[in-house]
Amino acid sequence: MTPPRPYTPRVARKFIGGYRPRIDALEKAAGKVEFVDDLTLKSRFPGMLYAKVMRSPYAHARIKSIDASEAEKLPGVKAVITCKDPEVSSLKPTSAGWTDGVDTVSYERMMWGHFRDRRVLGDHACWATDEVGAVVAAESEQTAEEALRLIKVEWEVLPFVLDPLEAMKPGAPVIHPEIAPRNILPKDVVGGADVFVDKGDTDKAFARAEVVVEAKAVHHNATQASLDNWCCLVDWKSDKLTVMSNSFEADQSRMHISQMLGLPINKVRVISSYVGGQFGRGDTGDQPFFLFTALLSKKTGRPVKFRHTRRESFHDSRQPAIYTAKVGAKKDGTITSMYFKSIGNSGAYADHTMFALKFAPTEITEAALAHIPNVRMESYGVYTNKLPACMMRGVGNSQFNLIFGQVVDMLAEKLGMDPIDLALKNFGHEWGGLPDKSLSAVLREGAERIGWRAKRHKPGAGPVYDRVKKRGVGFSFHPAWHAEWQEARRGEIRIRITLNPDCSVVLDAPTVETGTGSNTCNVLGCAEALGFLGIGPGDIVWPHTVDTETSLKDCVQTDSAVSYLQSEVVARAAREVKKRILEKAARLMKAAPEDLDAADGRVYRKAAPGKGMTVRDVFRLGDMLPIVVEMGRPPNSEKTGVPYIANFAEVEVDTGTGRVQVLKLVVLNDCGTVMYASGAEAQQIGGQVMGLGEALTEEIIYDEATGVPLNFNWIDYKIATMADMPEIEPALLEVWRGAGEYGACGIGEGTLTCTPRAVLNAVYNAIGARIDDIPVKPEKVLRALGKV
Amino acid sequence: MPRKSGKPEREAKKPPVRIKINGQWHEFEPGRDIAPEMTLSFLLREKLGYTGLKVACDEGACGACTVLMDGKAVLSCMKLAVEADGHEILTIEGLPEDDPVIQAFAKQCEPGYGTALQCGFCTPGFVMTAKALLNENPKPTAGEIKEGLSGNICRCGCYSGIARAVLHASEGSAPKGGKP
């Protein structure tokens, strides 16, 4: 083990940037935190019923007739609603892609309004286990399940297709003919046309290129696998509906329910408590289960709880994509032309397919490919009868990095260059020159920490260990996200500081506590900004629960950016708090406010710092009213570019069995400013469980003959445990700087974006044979080696 | 305790299931409080409100539901409630807040290892598994900690911090770092 090397902050601060425990560490370690499934025990809601929804046994089918009469007679069943009933059949068609969570949107303004392909409870099953037909509310979950089995359904079984390339062919089964007559999603306003980036003249540049490489990289469905399954309790009493859930976006959940059920916004109350892992799950603004659970509550007059089983939790996943690429360069390593084409498997519903395939790569083009004169990107989202893919940590970036890091590695080899030099020669961002300081810092630091010079060798030409084992090193890099200017769409970020007469503080900077560490950042930021009060993080009460009836609008846990977005506003609001204190003190001290200042809990005359009074006395002798400052501010739009992230991997490949063992990972993030070092390291280390899982073991497997997913459980879907993880070295850097008080950049999602490609490049370095698709299972290694 | 009754043996009520939970004996009447197919996790969470343990996979793959039975770690989602008859169960609610393992998990912030928890959903399971490990092996090596905790999943991935916390708990040393 390499001894840890803590980072040195660029600017020394009292609280921000420190190595310290999380603010919620003790309550979580002691098991005292209550998640929604805990808060909605039947003992707390004695009249509560449980909802269950029917799921399709077929990959593609329609309900011809449905008869629920036997289910209704079952003792304990309180309500059955079928797709033929007007309360659901009258609901508008919808999409699970209302918003990427950044902004709250209405039905009309939903992000992917072109693809309203979902019915809340329809008769068209588009994949095996799709929610269709009927929902039941019963006294217990077992009774509800039994009732579902008693519902007689006559199915019209339809032909299905799982592979997007097959689905694009003429004559393939068509999933949503009204939206995509050939299964290929049409052009839309957000994602753009099929060719969505076309800069310069790539064809001409390829013709003139001295070196050209072509590559393919296939990214698969992985699932977020939050331990805390989706859960909600809906209580619809007279004209008011209250929802408790583990949604990570309370304000958007309220908008969604209000719009879909036609209720005034103030008649919908959404309460989100702690969430046991988010990772992009439900980054949709739309989950039909909220709606049918609400309708069951209305029908029965009782609170109704719906929760996913572990099997059902697999309904959220990463968008799979087949990428191909071509890159042209001069002999000196100057890249002249890049072309990327992707075919995404949307699965049964479009959802955020085009976010992954087009929106994210457009952002990457702006950031990383700004200095490449000719760039063309082309993409097709394709409907199939597979699991509809959703947002997942690093949406679009993970898929893109798998091909991006590959072509850099391949081109460097063909040119006889070190890939680090090739990267520095070509990639930066639109608002800066080359070489990019941030990219240079992460790559040099990573190279040093992994032992690049000593360990990197010609592909497959390194030493052999234990007669059959070969080692290699590799890396991948990517522009980080999001800097503040990239968050403009959020609109105003609102916070409120209440300073009480005893100098205790209530901070209302609402954001759902999903574990990311941003609430700790907020409290540290508040303590930092109110430093003149002489208080610390322990004096600040923070909002553990977001409640749309009492909280300000929540800053949604997306884009990895909440760690600093609210703190930037808090820093400004704190200046206003100080101004108000000085005004109060000025009256008591018979001075002009501008002649006063405050530090360490005291107000003093600038001219005579020894003379003054404590802030507590300002309250005690004054009006005793708390100072309340509420502030809303849109993100700073100053274009500062973005920093870089990278992962370096060392692997050992057993050429006899095909097993890949990762020996070490170095995870590098240029954060701009480290807001909370222990939390940032936890993200860097923690992201590798998902990143290595996607690279080596995690994969959803289907039965090709029936289209039925086979491993919707945690026995057969392999998530890494402690015993599976290699040594991980987190490296925090502060090189780039954004706008504002801190000028930080998000890091959470990016920690795993480069992991699969770093591992694959290391595998290539070890064995000298390329593997195009992940996860890298032993059979793929043996095939690449020509052994099977 | 079963009540005395003049009725013949075969008509007598089945004796209650007795389980000692966090130091206190509880009696459960078969058919009313407890059913043959009821899991221990269901009894503890849904019937008794011990929500520290979590049911995340419900098939013995993740360890979030771990409790101690007679000092040993058991997966309460894989154990029938009646199997605990006559045994002693310890849930995280039965640990004091100054328990060295809880404290070590809460305080971990040693540079290079991150925190020992993020979302906190898996944490009670890890804490109880660590308790069982340290009961059996008070001074585990790094390898023994890895092996001993490899039945638990932390999707936030705080394995480095967790291993460090368990090591510190076994050494009785609190890591350096500021207060929360």
- Contact criterion met (CB < 8 Å) for A19 and B113: no
Specify the residue for token string 């095939």.
Answer: A783
Q: Which residue of A has its CA nearest to B65?
A: A227
| Chain A closest-CA separation from residue B144 CA (Å) | 10
Residue among A18, A38, A686 whose CB faces B51 most closely = A38
Specify the residue for token string 């329809």.
Answer: A122
Query: What ipTM was reported for this prediction?
Result: 0.97
- Contact criterion met (CB < 8 Å) for A722 and B121: no
- Contact criterion met (CB < 8 Å) for A228 and B56: yes
Per-residue pLDDT of A404-416, as tens digits, reads: 999 999 999 999 9
| Chain A closest-CA separation from residue B166 CA (Å) | 12
Per-residue pLDDT of B105-137, as tens digits, reads: 999 999 999 999 999 999 999 999 999 999 999
The answer to whether residue A693 neighbours chain B at the CB level (below 8 Å) is no
What does the pLDDT average to over A15-38?
98
In this complex, how many residue pairs, one in chain A and one in chain B, have their CB atoms less than 8 Å apart? Answer: 232
Three-state DSSP string of B43-107: HHHHHCCCCCCCCCCCCCCCCCCEEEECCEEEECCCCEHHHHCCCEEECHHHCCCCCHHHHHHHH
Determine contact, residues B145/B167, Cβ cutoff 8 Å. yes
Residues of B in contact with A6 (CB under 8 A): 111-112
Domain end point (choices B94, B120, B145) = B94
Per-residue pLDDT of A564-616, as tens digits, reads: 999 999 999 999 999 999 999 999 999 999 999 999 999 999 999 999 999 99
CB atoms within 10 A of CB A697: 17
Does residue B177 belong to any structural domain of this protein?
no
Position A38 pLDDT exceeds 70 = yes
Q: How far is the C-alpha of A372 from the C-alpha of A370, rounded, in Å?
A: 6
The answer to whether residue A45 neighbours chain B at the CB level (below 8 Å) is no
Same domain, B27 and B52: yes
Residues of A in contact with B56 (CB under 8 A): 227-229, 276, 310
What does the pLDDT average to over A536-554?
96
Per-residue pLDDT of A736-754, as tens digits, reads: 999 999 999 999 999 999 9
Residue type, A773: D
What does the pLDDT average to over A649-661?
98
What is chain B's mean pLDDT, rounded?
92
Q: Shortest CA distance to A635 belongs to which of A741, A707, A548?
A: A741
Determine contact, residues A83/A134, Cβ cutoff 8 Å. yes
Position A721 pLDDT exceeds 70 = yes
Look at strands A61-67 and A124-125 and give their pairing.
Answer: antiparallel
Which residue range forms the structural domain that includes residue B130?
100-171
What does the pLDDT average to over A165-186?
97
- Contact criterion met (CB < 8 Å) for A686 and B114: yes
- Contact criterion met (CB < 8 Å) for B180 and A276: no
Q: How far is the C-alpha of A488 from the C-alpha of A560, rounded, in Å?
A: 14
Reduced to 3 states (helix: H, G, I; strand: E, B; else coil), residue A576 is helix
Same domain, B38 and B89: yes
Residues of A in contact with B155 (CB under 8 A): 224-227, 277, 279, 689-690, 719
Residues of A in contact with B76 (CB under 8 A): none
pLDDT for B2 = 44
Same domain, B128 and B164: yes
Angle ∠(A317,A315,A352) on CA atoms, nearest 5: 50
The answer to whether residue A140 neighbours chain B at the CB level (below 8 Å) is no
Mutate to test the interface with B, among A48, A678, A689 (most CBs of B within 10 A): A678
Which CB contacts under 8 angstroms, 24+ apart, belong to A29-32?
A29/B102, A29/B103, A29/B105, A29/B106, A29/B116, A29/B117, A29/B120, A29/B123, A29/B127, A30/B92, A30/B95, A30/B97, A30/B102, A30/B106, A31/B51, A31/B52, A31/B53, A31/B91, A31/B92, A31/B93, A31/B123, A31/B124, A31/B127, A32/B52
Per-residue pLDDT of B14-62, as tens digits, reads: 899 999 999 999 999 999 999 999 999 999 999 999 999 999 999 999 9
pLDDT for B177 = 47
Phi, psi of A735 (to 5 degrees): -120, -60
Q: Which two tokens stand for residue B117?
A: 């928890």
Residue among B97, B152, B177 whose CB faces A21 most closely = B177
Q: Shortest CA distance to A339 belongs to which of A365, A320, A363, A366?
A: A365
Residues of A in contact with B92 (CB under 8 A): 30-31
Put simply, the chain B residues between 127 and 146 with a CB less than 8 A from any chain A CB are 127, 145-146
The answer to whether residue A567 neighbours chain B at the CB level (below 8 Å) is no
Tell me whether residue A496 is exposed, middle or buried, using C-beta atoms within 10 angstroms of its C-beta: 0 to 12, 13 to 18, 19 or more: buried
- Contact criterion met (CB < 8 Å) for B103 and A685: no
Look at strands A493-499 and A469-479 and give their pairing.
Answer: unpaired
Tell me whether residue A585 is exposed, middle or buried, using C-beta atoms within 10 angstroms of its C-beta: 0 to 12, 13 to 18, 19 or more: buried
CATH number at residue B90: 3.10.20.30
pLDDT for B4 = 47
Domain end point (choices B94, B116, B140) = B94
Residue among A3, A515, A728 whose CB faces B120 most closely = A515
- Contact criterion met (CB < 8 Å) for B62 and A227: yes
Give Dmax (Cα) for chain B. Answer: 69
Q: How far is the C-alpha of A762 from the C-alpha of A756, rounded, in Å?
A: 10
Sign of the CA dihedral with B113 first, then B116, B122, and B126 last: positive
Determine contact, residues B40/B79, Cβ cutoff 8 Å. yes
Residue type, A431: W
DSSP 8-state code for residue A320: P
Q: Which residue of B has its CA nearest to A719?
A: B153
Residues of A in contact with B97 (CB under 8 A): 26, 30
- Contact criterion met (CB < 8 Å) for B103 and A29: yes
User: Looking at chain A, how many residues does it have?
Assistant: 788
Look at strands A49-55 and A321-329 and give their pairing.
Answer: unpaired
Same domain, B81 and B21: yes
Does residue B162 belong to any structural domain of this protein?
yes
Q: Which residue of B has its CA nearest to A40?
A: B46
Specify the residue for token string 């020669």.
Answer: A425
CATH number at residue B128: 1.10.150.120
Q: Under 8 Å CB-to-CB from A436, ≥6 apart: which residues?
A: A424, A427, A428, A429, A644
CB atoms within 10 A of CB A662: 24
pLDDT for A752 = 97
Determine contact, residues B139/B166, Cβ cutoff 8 Å. no
Q: How far is the C-alpha of A282 from the C-alpha of A279, rounded, in Å?
A: 9
Domain end point (choices B44, B78, B94) = B94
Q: Which residue of A has its CA nearest to B104?
A: A29
- Contact criterion met (CB < 8 Å) for A276 and B119: yes
pLDDT for B173 = 66
pTM comes to 0.96
Determine contact, residues A310/A713, Cβ cutoff 8 Å. yes
Same domain, B49 and B78: yes
CB atoms within 10 A of CB A82: 22
What does the pLDDT average to over A278-291?
79
| Chain A closest-CA separation from residue B7 CA (Å) | 33
Position A389 pLDDT exceeds 90 = no
Q: Under 8 Å CB-to-CB from A263, ≥6 apart: which residues?
A: A239, A241, A257
Per-residue pLDDT of A483-523, as tens digits, reads: 999 999 999 999 999 999 999 999 999 999 999 999 999 99
Strand partners, A540: A505
Residues of B in contact with A33 (CB under 8 A): 120
The answer to whether residue B160 neighbours chain A at the CB level (below 8 Å) is yes
Mutate to test the interface with B, among A8, A23, A26, A28 (most CBs of B within 10 A): A28
pLDDT for A286 = 56
Per-residue pLDDT of A323-353, as tens digits, reads: 999 999 999 999 999 999 999 999 999 999 9
Q: How far is the C-alpha of A696 from the C-alpha of A16, rounded, in Å?
A: 36
What does the pLDDT average to over A413-442?
97
Per-residue pLDDT of A663-720, as tens digits, reads: 999 999 999 999 999 999 999 999 999 999 999 999 999 999 999 999 999 999 999 9
- Contact criterion met (CB < 8 Å) for B108 and A227: no
Q: At what angle do helices A437-450 and A419-426 cross, to 10 degrees?
A: 170
Phi, psi of A180 (to 5 degrees): -140, 90
The answer to whether residue A394 neighbours chain B at the CB level (below 8 Å) is no
Phi, psi of A355 (to 5 degrees): -70, -45
Same domain, B54 and B90: yes
Same domain, B112 and B89: no
Residues of B in contact with A32 (CB under 8 A): 52
Same domain, B55 and B34: yes
CB atoms within 10 A of CB A139: 17
Whole-angstrom CA distances from A280 to A101, A222, A273, B168 are: 9, 12, 17, 33
pLDDT for A312 = 92
Does residue B10 belong to any structural domain of this protein?
no
Does residue B6 belong to any structural domain of this protein?
no
Mutate to test the interface with B, among A647, A721, A725, A755 (most CBs of B within 10 A): A721
Residue among B92, B116, B178 whose CB faces A31 most closely = B92
Residues of B in contact with A25 (CB under 8 A): 105-108, 115-117, 180
Same domain, B111 and B147: yes
Task: Give CA A297 to chain center in angstroms.
Answer: 31
- Contact criterion met (CB < 8 Å) for B111 and A4: yes
Mutate to test the interface with A, among B109, B110, B158 (most CBs of A within 10 A): B109
pLDDT for A575 = 98
Put simply, the chain B residues between 70 and 99 with a CB less than 8 A from any chain A CB are 91-93, 95, 97
Q: How far is the C-alpha of A578 from the C-alpha of A594, rounded, in Å?
A: 11
Residue among B102, B149, B180 whose CB faces A722 most closely = B149
Does residue B114 belong to any structural domain of this protein?
yes
pLDDT band at residue B180, thresholds of 50, 70 and 90? very low
Q: How far is the C-alpha of A406 from the C-alpha of A678, rounded, in Å?
A: 32
Does residue B2 belong to any structural domain of this protein?
no
Instruction: Reply yes or no: is the peptide bond before residue A482 cis, omega within 30 of 0.
Output: yes
pLDDT for B1 = 43
Same domain, B51 and B74: yes
Look at strands B17-21 and B24-28 and give their pairing.
Answer: antiparallel
Three-state DSSP string of A500-554: CCCCCEEEECCCCCCCCCHHHHHHHHHHHHCHHHCCCHHHEECCCCEECCCCCCC
Q: How far is the C-alpha of A76 from the C-alpha of A142, rounded, in Å?
A: 10
CB atoms within 10 A of CB A154: 10
Q: How far is the C-alpha of A646 from the C-alpha of A731, rounded, in Å?
A: 10
Strand partners, A50: A138, A305
Does residue B12 belong to any structural domain of this protein?
no
Same domain, B77 and B124: no
Q: How far is the C-alpha of B152 from the C-alpha of B37, rounded, in Å?
A: 24
The answer to whether residue A293 neighbours chain B at the CB level (below 8 Å) is no
pLDDT for A288 = 87
Position A477 pLDDT exceeds 80 = yes
Residue among A18, A517, A688 whose CB faces B118 most closely = A517
What does the pLDDT average to over A388-400?
92
pLDDT band at residue B9, thresholds of 50, 70 and 90? low
How much of chain A is helix, strand and coil, in % rounded to 5? 30, 25, 45
pLDDT for A1 = 73
Q: How far is the C-alpha of B159 from the C-alpha of B156, rounded, in Å?
A: 9
Mutate to test the interface with A, among B33, B37, B57, B58 (most CBs of A within 10 A): B57
| Chain A closest-CA separation from residue B68 CA (Å) | 15
| Number of domains, chain B | 2
Residue among B55, B61, B123 whose CB faces A715 most closely = B61
Sign of the CA dihedral with A683 first, then A687, A689, and A690 last: positive
pLDDT for B5 = 46
Does residue B179 belong to any structural domain of this protein?
no
Q: How far is the C-alpha of A617 from the C-alpha of A624, rounded, in Å?
A: 10
Instruction: Reply yes or no: is the peptide bond before residue A775 cis, omega within 30 of 0.
Output: yes
Same domain, B111 and B154: yes
